[in-house]
Structure 1
Amino acid sequence: MKLSGINAYLIEQYLAYKRNIGYTLSSTSNFKIFDNFTVKNGATSVGLTKELAEKWKEKRPNESDVTRYKRVNDIANFCIYLNQLGYQTYIPRLPKNYKSTFTPYIFSKEELASFFSACDTIKVHDKSNMKYILPVVFRIIYGCGLRINEAMSLKNKDVNLEEGYIIVRETKNGGDRILPLSDSLITICSQYKNILLLSNESEGYFFIQKNGNRYASDTVYKWFRKVLWKAGISHGGKGMGPRVHDLRHSFSVHSLAEMSRKGMDLYYTLPILSKYLGHQSLEATDKYVRLTSDMYPELIQDVNKLSSYLFPEVKQNETD
């Protein structure tokens, strides 16, 4: 991909950064389109002015809502990156009329028990660290509601087993998060650490290959499919799930249901869950209210009262 605009070098740097932290970036065409856009419009400063951001956001002839949303979202994330580097740039707002129709797969507690049992017993080549990682990585993704890249980016310094918390750094929406570990997670992480991380270099990755590098998210996903098969949980095919990310969705729904069962006021707990997950807004967390009401009908009355009060109309689902 040859780039020639004012942002060319920084786009290449941004894409390299994303790949280094585990994103596959199967398509980078939006960045080429953006580069051509800045050249065509005579941009002379890094990033976007408000005028150019609004122009970039405009819907193009014959462009679907999904394509438009992804095009704007890619460059919005790039502009966030530029701001973090110290460049002042306007961040284009995401289109409000895009609504994803994707429904996450929510694991039942019984399915999770079978899944984690399969993680513990699946056959892995003796020379691979994956045999030690599988029993831990999916439990920590579910137990802490992590995105897969957040889990794979954890370093030894981020996992404090003595005080029982992890620090999730450089998250998708910016900022760090400190998340507590349950007693069972502390136990299994300690067992893993004692076997594989005896040197305990603070800057080393917590989930490491034999050569010390972090595992790519794609590699973890391939093992996820194998574990699903062993656990007897059917997969709907490409794009249908379950996906690794559905462990995070399941954590959110199960947490919300448990809080409701304990009589906690969802008006106050939703913002806490939103911050815990690293969402930028409550609207992104609201979908879990709806999923919880679908899975746990006994909670639907309280959930609907809260949902209608907080979010009378949600026109956009944010990608979490």
Structure 2
Amino acid sequence: MMALSEAISLYIEHKQALGYRYRTEGAILKSFCKSLGEGPITAIEAKAVHNFINGQGPVTENNLKKYKVLSGFYKFVLTRGFVKVSPLPSSIPQKTIPDFVPYIYSREEIKKLIANVHIVCTSRMSIEENILRTLLLLLYGSGLRIGEALALLNRDVDILQECLFIRETKFFKSRFVPMGKDLTDILSEYIEKRHNYYSSSANAPFFYFKNGLPLSQSAVRNFFRRLRSSAGIKRDGDSRHQPRIHDIRYPNLN
């Protein structure tokens, strides 16, 4: 009799063999296994699956994601005869809160953010003022996702051709992103300054902490929350829905 953990491992390996990264989905399945405990896959009850999918709070996009991932998993185990009946609920959970609406920064708000960078990037902080300022301007001027910007290597920034090369990000696709003259000039000046202190190797990260390690998303998000507060930019309502650094890219996409 196959254990739940074994079936999940087989399914993740199957999806990755098909070319999917399956990191987020794999994490959901591992959380499912941890929640229900180790045991045979045939012993899983519908109530336990329902509780895992719906949780205790309002139904959100995350609940729908859980349902979708488990639906794929149970199709896999059913077709291979690991189980005879799926314990999944017969209906998809219905969201009880509205979809999140991105915050659209005005030009004045972007200027406020840039003007307040020096307040959060003091000499004691781990990120230099010039690096955070350049990162914000890059997001605003290019429409890149924060993960894409932080994944840039020196060789991905072509000042002469005025373009960025984004490597295998969402949907495993690479692409070129053109830059306007203003953004090209900003990055050119940044490169000239940073190469005096950090590696100019083609394979070195484009954005660094002061200690030379690549910037992390978690650190940048924490810095940005302090920066947004310092600039006095906020949205009315639930604090969970306050403007994010990710939202800086949206004016460029309109």
Q: Secondary structure at the match of 1:179?
A: strand
Please tell me whether the aligned partners of residues 167 and 177 of structure 1 are also in contact (alpha carbons under 8 angstroms). Answer: yes
Could you tell me how far apart the structure 1 residues matched to 2:194 and 2:166 are?
A: 21
Give the match's secondary structure for 1:173. Answer: helix
Q: Report Cα offsets for 1:247-277 as digits up to 9, x if no partner.
A: 1223223xxxxxxxxxxxxxxxxxxxxxxxx
**2:205 paired residue number:** 205
Residues of 1 paired with 2:70 and 2:131: CA distance? Answer: 34
Q: How many residues align?
A: 207
Once the 2 structures are TM-superposed, how far is the Cα of residue 65 of structure 1 from its aligned partner?
Answer: 5.9
Give % identity. 27
Return the alpha-carbon distance in structure 1 between the equivalents of residues 39 and 243 of structure 2: 39
Matches within 5 A, 1:160-199: 160-198=158-196, 199=199
Q: 1:316 maps to what in 2?
A: none
User: Of residues 119, 124, 136 in structure 1, which corresponds to 2:121?
Assistant: 124
Superposition CA RMSD, Å: 3.9
1:245 corresponding residue in structure 2: 246
CA separation of 1:39 and 1:125: change in aligned 2, threshold 3 A: farther
1:70 and 2:69 equivalent? Answer: no
> What secondary structure is seen at the aligned counterpart in 1 of 2:100?
coil
Counterparts of residues 1-320 of structure 1 (less than 5 Å)? 4-8=5-9, 28-33=27-32, 40=41, 60=50, 63=54, 64=59, 66-72=61-67, 100-119=98-117, 121-126=118-123, 128-198=126-196, 199-234=199-234, 238-253=239-254
Shift of 1:170: 2.1
User: Which structure 1 segments of 5+ residues have no match?
Assistant: 15-22, 43-58, 79-94, 254-320
Distance 1:77 1:157 in 2: 39
1:290-312, Cα deviation, whole Å (9 max, x unpaired): xxxxxxxxxxxxxxxxxxxxxxx
Give the 3 Å change call, closer, same or farther, for CA 9–192 of structure 1 in structure 2. Answer: farther
Cα distance in structure 1, aligned partners of 2:163 and 2:40: 47
Distance apart, 1:230 and its partner CA: 2.9
Q: Which has the larger radius of gyration?
A: 2
Match for 2:201: what amino acid?
Answer: E
